[in-house]
Structure 1
């Protein structure tokens, strides 16, 4: 049986006082309370940075594709287009672009009537369903329905005897964090370059490739 004595009361009082004055757990408590906020802000920053990087890569894909298509000299072949698409998709390898994006490459030049532009040929690559904002292959050939490509504030059109390689890229953002606030956002970029040292704008098929192999826009290409 424990008997209360003045000495025991004094010892308990000293321990209670020491416990009341102890601050060794304050930092841990504050850290536990602030951890969810810090974690949320960190993940938010990481997701935002990844989204910005995806924008940069899609912009690069559009520019690289249009530039490389414009650089093909003398004449352009279906095999050239395949090589161009293959190189462009390597840029988007880290963001799973082939399965979630699409590249639309159009050769735009003045039509025979001289009253507008037309899309002589058009090729696509990537699994995403996405159609050109300017129409399909042959648009504007016999009418004035296509006057320019690009935004109305800075229209782009090809001069007589040449062509413009127009590239439209669409990509559905794949977030790092599941159910992210950026999940499912579409990223689009358009780029255009004048062809260099190429007088024959017809797309040849010297390898006799099939429609699917030729990356025609009616076929799935990943």
Structure 2
């Protein structure tokens, strides 16, 4: 039986086809593309999550710091704080958050921790007043306005107490993370940050008669936590 004779042009075409590698890179890229996109998306999402968490931490510290400084009065008198001043610093927190839309996706709780004037103990504290802003349904994790007989506020394993005749401004910021693409790549979607600062100057803690230590001569709407 005589073997079939392969034309020379057919042998050249077969050889050149076997040596051709022009489509290999495209096939390899197509196979790797899903993994590359996944890694890139996870990196971007994690970076955005970390940045958002850092900004919430900064907001908590700034609100606590500003709350510890507010008040009107002279060097010879105790400063009076007002509902308008508290509203202003909460508004400032929203502006600082910018496009994160803090008060739509989160909540800020400002608490005044003060010592209780009790001759039988030196380690009793109370929450004299508390102010909140934000649409998120999230109650304080550390107590509510009017709570007494407290040892202080324990946060992140540390006990926070107020000095005699003073107060500590304690801030909680809760925010629901808004992903760029998907929340699958982030460890959690609920971000909670805290901040605390001791009141800098002598402050009129009692306030007007029948109140909680906050004046309201401007007759503004208080940012209560109801």
Is TM > 0.5 for Structure 1 vs Structure 2? yes
Residues 72 and 196 of structure 1 are in contact (CA less than 8 Å); yes or no, is this contact kept in structure 2?
no
1:118-169: CA deviation from partner (whole Å, max 9, x where unpaired)? 11110001111111122211110xxx2x111133732111111111100011
Q: Which moved more, 1:37-46 or 1:18-27?
A: 18-27
> How far does residue 208 in structure 1 lie from its aligned partner after superposition?
1.6
Q: What RMSD in Å do the two structures reach over aligned CA positions?
A: 1.9
Hey, what does 2:18 align to over in structure 1?
A: 20
1:51-102: CA deviation from partner (whole Å, max 9, x where unpaired)? 1011101101100100000011412100001110011112222222211110
Structure 1 alignment gaps of length 5 or more: 1-5
**Which of 178, 182, 186 is the matching residue for 1:182?**
186
Distance 1:192 1:179, change over 3 A: closer
Structure 1 residue 135 corresponds to structure 2 residue 139: no
Residues 110 and 132 of structure 2 are in contact (CA less than 8 Å); yes or no, is this contact kept in structure 1?
yes
**Which of 204, 207, 215 is the matching residue for 1:204?**
215
> How far does residue 200 in structure 1 lie from its aligned partner after superposition?
0.8
Q: What are the residue-to-residue correspondences of 1:67-78 with 2, within 5 Å?
A: 67-73=65-71, 74-78=79-83
Hey, what does 2:30 align to over in structure 1?
A: 32
Aligned residue pairs, count: 206
The DSSP-based 3-state class of the residue aligned with 1:124 is strand
Residues 94 and 101 of structure 2 are in contact (CA less than 8 Å); yes or no, is this contact kept in structure 1?
no
Structure 2 alignment gaps of length 5 or more: 72-78, 206-212
Residues 76 and 203 of structure 1 are in contact (CA less than 8 Å); yes or no, is this contact kept in structure 2?
yes
Residues 108 and 132 of structure 2 are in contact (CA less than 8 Å); yes or no, is this contact kept in structure 1?
yes
The DSSP-based 3-state class of the residue aligned with 1:203 is coil
Distance 1:164 1:57, change over 3 A: same
Residues 103 and 134 of structure 2 are in contact (CA less than 8 Å); yes or no, is this contact kept in structure 1?
yes
TM-score (norm 2): 0.85
Structure 1 residue 216 corresponds to structure 2 residue 217: no
Hey, what does 1:171 align to over in structure 2?
A: 175
Residues 173 and 182 of structure 1 are in contact (CA less than 8 Å); yes or no, is this contact kept in structure 2?
no
Hey, what does 1:3 align to over in structure 2?
A: none
Query: How many Å separate the matches in 2 of 1:33 and 1:185?
Result: 31
> How far does residue 183 in structure 1 lie from its aligned partner after superposition?
8.5
**Which of 114, 117, 139 is the matching residue for 2:125?**
117
Query: How many Å separate the matches in 1 of 2:19 and 2:177?
Result: 53
Hey, what does 2:208 align to over in structure 1?
A: none
Hey, what does 1:102 align to over in structure 2?
A: 107
Residues 72 and 198 of structure 1 are in contact (CA less than 8 Å); yes or no, is this contact kept in structure 2?
no
The DSSP-based 3-state class of the residue aligned with 1:92 is helix
